[in-house]
Amino acid sequence: MQKKALKLLRHILILLSWRLLLRRATADVGTAAFYGPPYLPTVCYGDDPSQFPADNIFAAAGEGIWDNGACCGRQYMLRCLSSSPESCIAGQTIQVKVVNRASILDSNPSLNGTTITLSNTAFLQIANQSSDVINIEFIQI
């Protein structure tokens, strides 16, 4: 009798942890544009270049994820889902750090109003820039 109850409890616990894992792993979909230099100054870090990832893989947050500035420093994993014309590089995923706010960039992005705006270098890792905007899947990590 007790064994059965334990077994049931274990079953429930496993189900619960799966639900948690799945919830954590739920990605959002959105759009991404790209921008080039000048990259400084940024709203997040002023004129401090030490805050930039050395590999130049970073991004500026769109209004939807800007979160009143709390988005500064957040890291996102993202991949290219589709675009028109097709420019996604299949199987590529990147991790970007948010260093700025897209709506106030000194250099114009390829498109205004996207979910996220990637540095040229970041964009080129997942798409070949034959399109100004790509559809993406992203998740905060």
**Distance between CA 19 and CA 13 in Å, rounded?**
10
Specify whether the CB–CB gap between 57 and 122 falls below 8 A.
yes
| Tokens read off for 133 | 């905007």
Task: Tell me how far, at minimum, the Cβ of 51 lies from ligand NAG, in Å.
Answer: 25
For 126, the 3-state DSSP assignment is: helix
Task: Tell me how far, at minimum, the Cβ of 129 lies from ligand NAG, in Å.
Answer: 7
- Residue 130 or 140 having the CB closest to ligand NAG: 130
Q: Is residue 128 part of the contact set for ligand NAG (CB under 6 A)?
A: yes
# residues near ligand NAG by CB under 6 A: 7
The count of residues in the chain is 141
Which residue of 77, 111, 124, 139 would you call a contact of ligand NAG, by CB under 6 A? 111
Task: Tell me how far, at minimum, the Cβ of 106 lies from ligand NAG, in Å.
Answer: 11
Question: What does the DSSP 8-state code read for residue 48?
Answer: -
39: closest CA among 120, 129, 94, 133? 120
Which residue of 55, 67, 86, 106 would you call a contact of ligand NAG, by CB under 6 A? 86
Contact footprint for ligand NAG (CB under 6 A): 86-87, 108, 111-112, 128, 130
